[in-house]
Amino acid sequence: MQYRGVVLDVDGTVVRGETAIPGALDGLAAIAEHGAKRIFVSNNPVKAPPAYEERLARAGIEVDASEIVTSGTATTSYLVSNHADDRVFCLGEPGLCDQLSDAGLELVAADDSPDVVVVGIDRDFHYDDLRDAHVALHDGALFYGTDPDIIIPTDEGDVPGSGAIIRAVAGIADRDPDAILGKPSPVTQGLILDMLSVAPEDILVVGDRLDTDIALGIDAGMDTALVKTGVTDDETLARSEYTPTHVLDSLGDLRTLLVE
């Protein structure tokens, strides 16, 4: 098909850690030769787009920060649009909290009666953080998660992601998040469509995760391609409620889908 836009997941699809996945460079070259617009969309809320630009460059992939959307981007954009004057408690790593404060949002402590609580991955998460989340949510503050990824792939293997911490907070608060803002949410879908300026039916979403990458594409009316270089194996695919348009061994097989 003549796709005019390609949405690429990052971890497990293009890179693992700071190393390009075999076939990734060939797939990116095919997109360039095809003349399609591209955008990289990650559910990592910690690194802002400029940091992703540098990280991908270390893997031998030239990308501009303007081509990158993260769950931190989506979360920040949503809060600025809907909660610009609210007090925000951020349970996450400094990279996420810095994005929120740099956007002009007021960050407060858990016991300062926040209006909004944002939860994302925090590799130093401990009991005191769970206690703070309980305090912050006690008086009915809105509860937002950055992304639903329970497991994320790294150079050292799969590790817990934001979704694991969000679930812990949801358990202590005895309530689900009011929204989770990264993939596959409508918030992230809207950012992608705004940046690509391409009709959904002319876009291909490529990723390794069924419940985020493939779900995003299906929900938005885009074609999807699952790559088997990340967290999804054949058994998981067979029992999933999400059926991708295409299944590829790696991003290197993308050339077969980009027909002139």
Helix (H) or strand (E) holding 203: strand 203-207
- What are the CA-CA distances from residue 229 to residues 21, 180, 183, 250 (Å)? 8, 25, 19, 6
Determine contact, residues 212/43, Cβ cutoff 8 Å: yes
Q: Reduce the DSSP state of residue 126 to 3 states and report it.
A: coil
**Residues with catalytic annotation?**
9, 11
CA–CA gap between residue 208 and residue 14 (Å, rounded): 10
Q: ∠ at Cα 93 (53, 181), nearest 5°?
A: 75
CA–CA gap between residue 120 and residue 199 (Å, rounded): 31
CA nearest to 44, candidates 169, 178, 152: 152
110: number of CA atoms within 13 Å, CB side? 14
